[in-house]
Amino acid sequence: EVQLVESGGGLVQPGGSLRLSCVASGFTFSSHSMNWVRQAPGRGLEWVSYISASSSAIYYADSVKGRFTISRDNAKNSLYLQMNSLRVEDTAVYYCVRDGTLTEWPEDWGQGALVTVSS
């Protein structure tokens, strides 16, 4: 069974930093591209970032480009999101998401980590 467990969420002041982690199990982590997707309170889904299986391709949404950094450690079956210069509008539940082998798009989601940016 695919499991994706996020951690690292919490309350941070505007301008602050936070690092999200996601530990994966139940599949060959090094064979799958991964994403971070967020959902702000009362809002829809927003794709945040993508990283290929080997980390050779990385993409970001314009809203986080230059502030967020996605990375992975295949030896530790872990995905990360370093978030700097946080803004109030970054407040959201952040999901760790695995791309499917056939579809190559999000198929499995973690339970989410709440990030609240507030003074």
Partner 1 sequence: QSVLTQPPSTSGTPGQRVTISCSGSSSNIAKNYVYWFQHLPGTAPKLLIYNSDQRPSGVPDRFSGSKSGTSASLAISGLRSEDEADYYCAAWDDNLSGRVFGGGTKLTVL
* Biggest CA pair distance of the chain: 44
Select 29 or 95, whichever has its Cβ closest to partner 1: 95
> Least CB distance from residue 107 to partner 1, whole Å?
5
CA dihedral in degrees (66, 54, 40, 102; nearest 10)?
Answer: 140
Q: Considering the rule CB under 8 A, would residue 27 count as an interface residue with partner 1?
A: no
With CB under 8 A as the contact rule, the residue among 25, 76, 85, 105 that binds partner 1 is 105
> Least CB distance from residue 117 to partner 1, whole Å?
21
**Euclidean distance between CA atoms 115 and 98, whole angstroms:** 20
Q: Considering the rule CB under 8 A, would residue 46 count as an interface residue with partner 1?
A: yes
Select 65 or 76, whichever has its Cβ closest to partner 1: 65
Token pair, residue 119, equals: 């003074």
Q: Considering the rule CB under 8 A, would residue 61 count as an interface residue with partner 1?
A: yes
In sequence order, the 6+-apart residues with CB closer than 8 A to the CB of 31 are: 53, 101
> Least CB distance from residue 114 to partner 1, whole Å?
14
Q: Considering the rule CB under 8 A, would residue 95 count as an interface residue with partner 1?
A: yes
**The sheet that has 68-73: what strands, in order across it?**
3-7, 18-25, 78-83, 68-73
Which residues lie near partner 1 (CB under 8 A)?
35, 44-47, 50, 59-62, 95, 100, 102-111
